[in-house]
Amino acid sequence: MTNTKPLNVLFLCTHNSARSIMAEAMLNHLGKGRFRAYSAGSSPRDQQQPHPLALAALERVGVPTEGLRSKSWDEYGQESAPHMDLVITVCDNAAGEVCPLWPGHPATAHWGYADPSEVEGTDDARHQAFRKTLMEIRQRLEAFINLPASAIEKLALQQSARDLASR
């Protein structure tokens, strides 16, 4: 990127307990200060916390989880909130919802992932579902952070992020 200011990215999902949390933590880990990731949900449940299996999947690959929490997207719609450069929905429910008007009119994209918290079965099967989703998130984020600086400039950012949805 041509400037030293990190690119702010907000990942959205309905409950902000698994996919968006994993994307936030992974981008902050991989981005090496070039990106600042956040996550939120359109309707997190009362007392919602990050899914324990999402946190376990992150910790298993060495991604810090300290400070992660489930929160409403209303926090980021306020004028006092960090202004986002890019807002990415990671679940189909959030993609279809009417989002707040984000200060600064950030670029938007949808990167859909299967909900690992809906997998039923053995503990091993459930852990595997979270690991699989995390690896899919990681692959797309690695492609994103390795885009040339010109693809991350303000006008090209939305198209670059949308193109990655097909990976």
AA identity, residue 149: A
**How many C-beta atoms surround the C-beta of residue 3 within 10 A?**
8
Find where tokens 């690991």 sit: 131
110-139 pLDDT per residue, tens: 999 999 999 999 999 999 999 999 999 999
DSSP secondary structure string for all residues of 78-124:
STTSPPPSEEEE-SHHHHTS-PPPPTT--EEEE-----GGG--S-HH
Q: Residue 1 domain-assigned? A: no
Using the predicted structure, report yes or no on whether residue 2 has a pLDDT greater than 50.
no
Number of structural domains (the chain) is 1
Q: Residue 165 domain-assigned? A: no
Quote the CA–CA distance of 21 and 67 in Å, as a whole number. Answer: 11
Quote the CA–CA distance of 28 and 157 in Å, as a whole number. Answer: 18
Q: Residue 58 domain-assigned? A: yes
The pLDDT confidence band at residue 80, using thresholds 50, 70 and 90, is: confident
Q: Residue 139 domain-assigned? A: yes
Closest residue by Cα to residue 74 from 97, 108, 51: 97
Here the tokens at position 167 are 């990976």
What is the β-pairing status of strands 107-110 and 35-41?
unpaired
Q: Residue 20 domain-assigned? A: yes
54-72 pLDDT per residue, tens: 999 999 999 999 999 999 9
32-46 pLDDT per residue, tens: 899 999 999 988 877
Where in the sequence is the domain holding 15, given as residue range(s)?
A: 7-160
Q: Residue 2 domain-assigned? A: no
Quote the CA–CA distance of 148 and 21 in Å, as a whole number. Answer: 26
Q: Residue 166 domain-assigned? A: no
Q: Residue 143 domain-assigned? A: yes
How high is the mean pLDDT of the chain? 87
CATH number of the domain residue 44 falls in: 3.40.50.2300
Closest residue by Cα to residue 58 from 2, 17, 89: 17
Using the predicted structure, report yes or no on whether residue 1 has a pLDDT greater than 50.
no
